[in-house]
Amino acid sequence: MPDEDSKIDHYVLEYRKTNFEGPPRAKEDQPWMVVEGIKTTEYTLCGLKFDMKYMNFRVRACNKAVAGEFSEPVTLETRAFMFRLDASTCHQNLRVEELSVEWDATGG
């Protein structure tokens, strides 16, 4: 993003999920979701789902009179991950069972 520019009033972020295997490319039947009125050069997009294969994002700057061109789309992935604690290698005060972990101050 450019340094702060006094001519820019706000930004518009658009994103769409493509969610398919292979090289990142837009699936034209997916609509762009729009976030308007972003006043800073940073934005946190909430509500994304884990393990979406690909999502396309683009942004444009606007002032009170006109909107600029959209940036080139950027493709991101929200990878999911799985992890487990191993009862045989964890701290002696942790009691690890199937789907639960408890702290045992007496040392197990």
The number of distinct structural domains making up the chain is 1
Residue 33 lies in a domain: yes
**CATH at residue 50:** 2.60.40.10
User: Would residue 101 count as lying in a domain?
Assistant: no
The first and second tokens of residue 29, run together, are 């039947």
The residue to which tokens 């398919």 are assigned: 20
In this prediction, residue 98 carries a pLDDT of 77
Determine the pLDDT at residue 70: 94
Q: Does 25 reside within a domain?
A: yes
Residue 15 lies in a domain: yes
In a domain, 94, yes or no: no
Contacts of 9 (CB under 8 A, 6+ apart): 62, 63, 64
pLDDT tens for 80-99 read: 777 777 888 888 888 888 77
Residue 108 resides in a domain: no
Q: pLDDT for 39-92, tens place per residue?
A: 988 999 887 777 776 678 999 999 988 999 999 988 888 777 777 778 888 888
- Note whether residue 71 is domain-resident: yes
Q: Which domain holds residue 52?
A: 10-78
Nearest to 33 by CA among 50, 58, 8, 51: 58
Q: What is the DSSP-derived secondary structure letter of residue 64?
A: S
* Structural tokens at position 16: 């769409």
- Residue 17's φ and ψ, nearest 5 degrees, are -90, 145
pTM here is 0.61
**Inside any domain, residue 60:** yes
